[in-house]
Amino acid sequence: MANFIPVNQPLLDGREKEYINDCLDTGWVSSEGAYVGKFEASFAGEVNRAYGITVTNGSMALEAAVIALGLGEGDEVIVTAFTIISCVSAIVKAGAVPVLVDCDPHTWNMDVEAIEKKITPRTRAIMAVHIYGLPVDMEPVLNLADKYNLLIIEDAAEAIGQSYRGRACGSFGDISVFSFYPNKLVTTGEGGMIVTDSKEIADRCMKLRNLYFEPEARFVHEEMGWNLRITNIQAALGLAQLERLGQHIDRKIRIGRLYNECLQDVKGLVLPVQKTDYAENMYWIYGVVINDDVSMTAREAMKSLADRNIGTRPFFYPMHQQPVFKKMGLFKGVSCPVSERIAKRGFYIPSGLGITDEQIKQVSDEIKNLFL
């Protein structure tokens, strides 16, 4: 489609080719190459963590994190209903029990005021998932973790480069995870990262990502792990991307502000929260929610925009309404009305790093034509 504007266009205009060619020229293309360690150390330093462990993707980072913390049969983990399925599936696959809280109607992050009511004697952890470029209000979460002796898993996949009260997202709690999918501010094509300050947790994650090989007895396995290793080529790409993170953040904020300016008069839409008292939105994606008094649904709006060569994506589908979890007998009687509403009324529009100002204005004009 000649003039189609996709939801995401990555930027690969740094030293990516130079570093990847170095891998090819030296023959170090596997996970044994030097770029893997360099990328891990650099990324961990970026988020003020002691250890970084690369893995194949963000979903497996979550699964490894849950296992590394020793969560298992019957343990309850509190998590938002409005998130990607990877968060809840990681809990379920470990044999633990996901306990859902609804999201805040303004920030779309987990409603932190609802967490304490969900805590029981079986609660072991809180999974805090930063949504769409604005972080969870972490202070109340940290206070609850201290009060009830709970673990914290921080999913910062959508918050690379974001901060909470001046502290880097990815630096909170016992373990944090990231994704490097092409729509993230740092991409390795496919890939992820686990970060922690605990040497014990880091060592366990490194074993889990490498078939649980033991340093002194390589082919004797005390536990089962996965092969989650990334290649030197992926790490080289990630390192080049990381060098330009500041520029990528600035570009995302500019994209968000330009959309705000262009769409501020569209009365049928709720635009993203620009800032809270703990963070400014860095607009990882630019999402909108259709007002209840507008008859058009998100699905209908997305179809109309597709007809105009504009790519879109729906908001997350609530976890308690997922067919796969219903078949498992999970979340019976659970109601999360905010998550349910924005899933029906929300979608996001082209906002990848590679989008041009002209394209932003074109997308905005098409949205105005749809709603004004």
Same domain flag for 236 and 89: yes
Are 306 and 233 within one domain?
A: no
**Residue 156 lies inside a defined structural domain of this protein:** yes
Statement to judge: residues 293 and 153 lie in one domain: no
In this structure, are residues 192 and 53 in contact, taking their beta carbons and an 8 Å threshold? no
Cβ atoms 346, 106 nearer than 8 A: no
Residue 8 falls within a domain, yes or no?
no
Q: Pick the last residue of a domain from 243, 267, 290.
A: 243
Cα four-point dihedral sign 196, 198, 204, 207 = positive
Q: Which residues have a Cβ under 8 Å from the Cβ of 31 and sit 6 or more positions away?
A: 229, 230, 231, 232
CA distance 132 to 348: 10
Question: What is the rounded CA–CA span in Å between residue 122 and residue 150?
Answer: 10
Boundary-marking domain end, from 217, 243, 269:
243
pLDDT at 244 (0 to 100): 97
Q: What is the CATH number of the domain that holds 322?
A: 3.90.1150.10
Task: Examine the domain organization and report whether 194 and 339 are in the same domain.
Answer: no
Residue 6 placed within a domain:
no
Q: Tell which of 243, 260, 282 closes a domain.
A: 243
Q: Render pLDDT for 9-35 as a digit per residue (tens, 0 to 9).
A: 999 999 999 999 999 999 999 999 999
Number of folded domains that form the chain: 2
Residue 2 has a pLDDT of 55
Residue 253 is assigned to a structural domain of this protein: yes
CATH code of residue 205: 3.40.640.10
Question: Closest Cα partner for 319 from 80, 71, 116?
Answer: 80
In this predicted structure, what is the pLDDT of residue 1? 45
Whether residue 257 sits in one domain with residue 170 = no
Same domain as 238, residue 250: no
Pair 77, 185 in one domain: yes
95: phi then psi, degrees, rounded to nearest 5: 90, 0
284 within some domain: yes
109 and 41, same structural domain? Answer: yes
Query: Which of the 8 DSSP states describes residue 134?
Result: B
With a CB cutoff of 8 Å and minimum separation 6, the contacts of 321 are: 340, 343
Q: Are residues 134 and 47 in the same domain?
A: yes
Residue 4 lies in a domain: no
Whether 10 is covered by a domain: the verdict is: no
Per-residue pLDDT of the chain (372 residues; tens, 9 = 90+): 458 999 999 999 999 999 999 999 999 999 999 999 999 999 999 999 999 999 999 999 999 999 999 999 999 999 999 999 999 999 999 999 999 999 999 999 999 999 999 999 999 999 999 999 999 999 999 999 999 999 999 999 999 999 999 999 999 999 999 999 999 999 999 999 999 999 999 999 999 999 999 888 889 999 999 999 999 999 999 999 999 999 999 999 999 999 999 999 999 999 999 999 999 999 999 999 999 999 999 999 999 999 999 999 999 999 999 999 999 999 999 999 999 999 999 999 999 999 999 999 999 999 999 998
Q: Does one domain contain both 89 and 194?
A: yes
Domain enclosing residue 318, as ranges: 245-371
Residue 3 lies in a domain: no
d(CA 219, CA 276): 51
Instruction: Kindly state whether residues 44 and 156 are assigned to the same domain.
Output: yes
Query: Strand, helix or coil at 355?
Result: coil
Is the domain of 344 the same as that of 333? yes
